[in-house]
Amino acid sequence: MPLAEITLRKYEKPYNLEGRELIKKVCLSLGLLQPGDSRDVIVDVLQVILDAKKEKKELDSETINKLIIENRKKHKLHLSGIAASNIRRQLKRLRNLFLIEKVANKYRVTENATLQEIFREKIEAFYLKSILDRVKEYLEALPK
C-alpha cells in the first residue's frame, strides 16, 4: 500500500482557457480528474471554493453542494455526482493534496494562498520531494 502518490500530467499551454475549462485542465494536470472522465464534479468543487476565495468567504459542505448544483445547471451539465457523500469525498481529495483546508467546519483555499504558492510550497517542495527521495532510496537499494 503506497504511503503517498501523485499523478501529474503535461498539457499544452493554457491559451484561450478560462473559467471552468481552465479549472478542469488544472484538475487533469494534478491527477484529480482522469482524461475522458464524465464524472467531473471535482472541477465544480474547486471552482466553487476558488470563487469563494475571491469574495473572501469560507464555505460549509452544504453551501458548497448548493453552489455546485447551480454551477452545473449554469453550464448545462448532468447533475450526476452531486450527492453529499461524493462532495465530501472530493473535498477530502483536495485536502489530501493540500489545495484546501477545513477550518471550523468550513472550507477554504489553504492559508488563503494562491494555487501557485500552494503547489510550490506544499506539493513540489514537500510532497513530491518526499516521494522522489523514497524512490531514490529504493533505486539505491538495488544490487549494483
The domain that holds 77 is classified in CATH as: 1.10.10
For residue 102, give its domain range: 19-113
| Percent of the chain as helix, strand, coil, to the nearest 5 | 55, 5, 35
Structural domain contains residue 55: yes
Predicted confidence band of residue 121 (pLDDT cuts 50, 70, 90)? very high
Structural domain contains residue 2: no
Cell of 100: 484546501
Structural domain contains residue 130: no
Structural domain contains residue 51: yes
- Specify the pLDDT at position 124: 94
Mean pLDDT of all residues in 57-68: 96
Give the total number of structural domains in the chain. Answer: 1
Question: Per-residue pLDDT for 68 more than 80?
Answer: yes
Write the CB contacts of 42 (distance below 8 Å, at least 6 apart in sequence).
27, 32, 33, 90, 93, 94
